[in-house]
Amino acid sequence: MKYLYIGLGGAVGSILRFVFSKLFQDYFKASFFPIGTLLVNIIGAFLIGIIFEIYDQNFVISPELKLLLATGFCGGFTTFSTFSNETMIMFSEGDYFYASIYIVSSVFFSLLAVYLGKIFIKLIATSI
């Protein structure tokens, strides 16, 4: 049953990653920079911070729902492989500056987003 939860979450996450990444990319009209993937990964990092903090705070979330949301949905929604490929494309095209900005901003803002997601839930937990 665990694999079904992960698979369902992953399917939904993958579809939404495609949709949101394209929407962001089109909205910002950034053909030279993969802003869609960057924003999706930051949002996914924020969501996984929320999910793990909810679980750690013993709120109403079962281990199965955690698998569906964190491993399945967030795993399907975020994408390290696309990030890596886009970075290699920028390097191969000589866009070292943008590739470097992409690497640093992806890591920094994704870590910050996880932290902010956890803080968000802690603030909610203390106000309940």
The arithmetic mean of pLDDT across residues 108-114, rounded, is 98
What letter represents residue 116's amino acid?
L
Express each pLDDT in 3-51 by its tens digit. Answer: 999 999 999 999 999 999 999 999 999 888 999 999 999 999 999 999 9
Percent with pLDDT over 90 in the chain: 87
Tell whether the model's pLDDT for residue 116 goes beyond 80: yes
Length of the chain: 128
Structure tokens at 12: 């939904």
Supply the range of the domain harboring residue 105.
2-122
The model's pTM is: 0.90
Instruction: Please indicate, yes or no, if residue 127 is contained in any of the structural domains.
Output: no
Instruction: Please indicate, yes or no, if residue 84 is contained in any of the structural domains.
Output: yes
Q: How many domains does the structure of the chain reveal?
A: 1
Confidence of residue 128 (pLDDT cuts 50, 70, 90): confident
The helix/strand/coil state of 29 is coil
Instruction: Please indicate, yes or no, if residue 90 is contained in any of the structural domains.
Output: yes
- The whole-chain average pLDDT of the chain stands at 95
Contact status, residue 27 vs residue 98, Cβ threshold 8 Å: no
Instruction: Please indicate, yes or no, if residue 128 is contained in any of the structural domains.
Output: no
Listed as own residue / partner, the contacts of 30-37 with beta carbons closer than 8 Å and 24 or more positions apart are 32/95, 32/98, 33/98, 33/101, 33/102, 34/82, 34/83, 34/86, 34/102, 37/79, 37/82, 37/83, 37/86
Confidence of residue 60 (pLDDT cuts 50, 70, 90): confident
